Chains A and B, each alone.
Chain A
Amino acid sequence: MAELSYRDAVSRGIAQEMRRDPNLVFLGEDVAAAGGVFKTTVGLLDEFGPIRVRDTPISEQAILGAAAGAAMTGVPVIAEIMFSDFLAVCFDLVANEIAKLRYMTDGQVSLPIVIRTANGAGSRFGAQHSQSVENWCMMIPGLKVVAPSTPEDVIGLMAASVRDPDPVVFFEHKSLMATKATIPDGEIVDELGKARTLRAGTDITIVALALMVPRAMAAADRLAEQGISAEVIDLRTLVPLDTRTILHSVERTGRLATVEENPRLCGWGAEIASLVAHEAFWNLDAPIVRITTPHIPLPAANNLEDATIPSVDKIVDTIVSEWA
């Protein structure tokens, strides 16, 4: 057992998989000598050397294209896109190439690629470096989408992503980097497509992802003080989506709130709201509530960013005000 930060869990997760599979390589901007701009890849160059841990030119398209090509020769690849916002500069590779090559070869070609990227707000990086863009990837057929909220999940889901034969976009949340937890020694391997119920409750199901998970947990404590028993589910992966855990919970609680950092329109919570409205309609006792960032670019100013992203207060107030 050891206490480990989310940040250090990233390098431990990558190292675990690179030790296990000597063919696995890792490339990205400033990932080797510098140890990553978020210091998530410190020590990997020393342990695995410059052929397997490779700094690249500032070329997001080429990073993913090189990953795709190498993967097609049978080399599994972890590719880092420094900020998730930069997926936009290489989205042809993400959406049109990596996501579709298996389909376009009638299932012949496998692309064992993990695209790791730093996602989310809290660092005051503004409109082009602080977005939550997990919904961009969720809507592309052929990708899997993962967003862990704890150090242990970082390691376990990293392992599951690397071992998956299909491309996975792996969102690491910038504002969770410093969070710590005690985690077991030895290999940690998890499974994609499994949500986790973090807190049992009877009155409402709150579904959250990444940074919104600890906020939903804190909100549940506050709601309990007001006599509302909230069940909190950490989705952990958006694709595949663990619909069973969500539906079973709503069938018991009769209410659903989603807490999303992505902007409102076409955020992942809309998909879950649609699912629950269709599959658990007769179990619902109240309208579904979506608590999201508004449909605006993220401001960089402290007060404005704080006012924009769902806070514990916002989650509690919204749920209470909708309670009738």
Chain B
Amino acid sequence: MSPEPRQILAPDGTRHGESSLEIPAIRRLYQAMLSARVFDRKASAMQRQGRLATYSPFEGQEACQIGSAAALSPQDWVVGSYRDGGAMWLHGYTWRNLLLGRTGDERGGRTPDGVRVLPPSITVGGHMIHAVGLGWGERLQGSDGVALTLFGDGATSEGDFHEAMNFAAVFETPTVFFCQNNGWAISMPTERQTRSETIAHKAVAYGMEGVRVDGNDLLAVYEAATAAVAKARRGDGPTLIEAITFRVGPHTTADDPGRYRSEGIVAEWRERDPLERVRRYLVAQDAWDEAWQREIEEAESRAIEDIVADAEALPAFTPREIFDGMYAEPTAQLREQRAEAERG
């Protein structure tokens, strides 16, 4: 395994590899990354204004999230962590779902009909195992659906990672493990998280293919994810993809990264911004101009503002609804407790 991450687009936008994406598709995915960034910044701002609970920004990781989810078909599943809103959204979870979730409204966890996305996992790593079961369940029903699970470098230190990887390999489940190695698990740098040469190397121990990719390169992420999804769909089992990226912002809105990492590193990574890289490539291909950029920025900002207004206009979740979500039919004890709660 080469420890050098695969790259198609250099940070200056020059292409030095083959991509299966045509220019119109790249423009669509660029717009999707932009939508994700607009949402992400809006959500962070709303948290600062007291309109959302803690939020985990994904700025800097848009190529990972949009590039990986773009490789899926509607019958596939996305199971992500609290930092994977971009991938979840591209697969059909709505920004409204994500906003409601961050206000503590459980209606945020209810996906639109037919959308195969689980709510963001707040426990670190627990969801990787669900993706193994989702893939297994699809296989049992004769479907060729695949489950993509996204997680961070820190989650690979959880026992869940080991059990999920081993089980997926032994059961040959159609699961794509997509690790966004963003360098930091809150304050812990990757080199203190693992002594493996790379996270992709961990796949070897499970008899699984491990792939390392430049996570700020939309085209490289898309190719790696597409290959892994196709392999899973064929019945050739799971893949671990390690995408090297960087969380530009804090771990969550409750975190101050200035306490554990230097501004110099952040500035370095801003130079490798995943959106800017695609923009430079599109410029070189004569497929970008300022008028289009302004048009999509305005369109995405308006769309996000509309979604925020719509989510904030929703009547508040009531105690009754909490009880109704507990079981298919509430037990007698729960009915009594619901009545007690409603009496106030």
Q: Is B134 on the interface with A (CB-CB < 8 A)?
A: yes
- Please give, as numbers and ranges, the residues of chain A lying within 8 Å of B291 by CB-CB distance: none
Task: Tell which of B106, B137, B143, B328 touches A72, judged by Cβ atoms closer than 8 Å.
Answer: B137
Asked if A240 and B333 make an inter-chain contact with CB atoms under 8 angstroms apart, the answer reads yes
Chain B residues, Cβ within 8 Å of A67: 133
Chain B positions 105-139 with a Cβ under 8 Å from a chain A Cβ: 106-111, 118-119, 123, 126, 128-138
Known: A72-B130, A75-B140, A141-B326. A65 touches B106 (CB 8 A): no
B10: min CB distance to chain A, Å: 38
When distances are taken between beta carbons in the complex, the residues of chain A under 8 Å from B137 are 69-75
B170 beta carbon closer than 8 Å to chain A:
yes
Tell me the bound Cα distance from A93 to B310 in angstroms. 34
Q: How far is the CB of B340 from chain A (nearest CB, A)?
A: 12
Cβ A240 vs Cβ B109 within 8 A: no
Chain B residues contacting A71 (CB-CB under 8 Å) are: 133, 137
> Which B residue's beta carbon lies closest to that of A244?
B332
Interface string of B154-177 (1 = CB under 8 A from A): 000001100110110011000000
Contact B110 A61 (CB under 8 A): no
Partner of A66, one of B109, B136, B331: B136
A108 touches B132 (CB 8 A): no
**Residues in chain B near residue A64, CB distance under 8 A:** 129
Q: Known contacts A74-B141, A96-B126, A243-B332; is A105 also within 8 Å of B110 by CB?
A: yes
Assess the B111–A69 pair: CB atoms within 8 A.
Answer: no
The total of interchain contacts (Cβ-Cβ below 8 angstroms) comes to 142
**Cβ–Cβ contact B135 & A69, under 8 A:** yes
Given contacts A70-B137, A240-B332, 16 further A-B contacts (CB under 8 A): A23-B141, A57-B167, A61-B129, A62-B163, A62-B167, A65-B167, A69-B135, A69-B136, A72-B137, A74-B141, A75-B137, A102-B326, A104-B109, A107-B324, A108-B110, A166-B327
Per the bound structure, the CA–CA distance linking A209 and B106 in Å amounts to: 36
Q: Say yes or no: B159 contacts A61, CB within 8 Å.
A: yes
Contact of A61 among B138, B163, B332 (CB under 8 A): B163
Interface residues of B (CB under 8 A from A): 106-111, 118-119, 123, 126, 128-138, 140-141, 143, 145, 147, 159-160, 163-164, 166-167, 170-171, 321-322, 324-328, 331-333
Q: Which residues of the partner chain A approach B129 to less than 8 Å between Cβ atoms?
A: 61-62, 64-66, 68-69, 93
**What residues of B have a CB within 8 angstroms of the CB of A65 in the complex?**
126, 128-130, 132-133, 160, 163-164, 167
Kindly list chain A residues whose C-beta atoms are within 8 Å of the C-beta of B331. 193, 239-241
User: In the complex, which residues of chain A have a beta carbon less than 8 angstroms from the beta carbon of B109?
Assistant: 104-106, 108
Q: How many chain A residues touch the partner (CB < 8 A)?
A: 45
A25 B140 Cβ-Cβ under 8 A: yes
Chain B residues within an 8 Å CB radius of A96:
123, 126
- Cα–Cα distance between A91 and B30 once the two chains are bound (Å): 41
* B327 partner residues in chain A, CB cutoff 8 A: 102, 142, 144, 165-166
- Tell me if B170 and A70 are in contact (CB < 8 A): no
A145 to B310 Cα, complex, angstroms: 41
Known: A67-B133, A243-B332. A103 touches B322 (CB 8 A): yes
Q: Measured between C-beta atoms, what is the minimum distance from B337 to chain A in Å?
A: 10
CB of A56 within 8 Å of the partner chain = yes
Asked if A51 is at the interface (CB within 8 A of a chain B CB), the reply is yes
Cα A181 to Cα B257 with chains together (Å): 66
What are 28 contact pairs spanning A and B, CB under 8 A? A57-B167, A59-B167, A61-B159, A61-B160, A62-B132, A62-B166, A62-B167, A65-B128, A65-B133, A66-B167, A68-B133, A69-B136, A70-B133, A71-B137, A72-B134, A72-B137, A73-B141, A92-B126, A97-B123, A97-B126, A97-B130, A103-B326, A105-B106, A106-B108, A108-B111, A110-B328, A144-B327, A241-B333
Q: From known contacts A61-B129, A97-B126, infer whether A106 and B164 are also in contact, taking CB-CB under 8 Å.
A: no
Q: Are A69 and B163 in contact (CB-based, < 8 A)?
A: no
User: Which residues from B are CB-within-8-Å of A74?
Assistant: 137, 141
Chain A residues within an 8 Å CB radius of B322 = 103
CA A166 to CA B170, docked complex, whole Å: 28
- The 4 A-B pairs of least Cβ separation, nearest first, read A69-B133, A65-B129, A73-B137, A70-B137
- Chain B residues with Cβ under 8 A from A243's Cβ? 332-333
Q: Which residue of B lies closest to A97 (CB)?
A: B126
The answer to whether A165 and B136 have CB atoms under 8 Å apart is no
Bound Cα distance from A240 to B336, whole angstroms: 13
**In the bound complex, CA of A191 to CA of B232 (Å):** 41
Encode A120-145 as 1/0 by CB contact (under 8 A) with B.
00000000000000000000011010
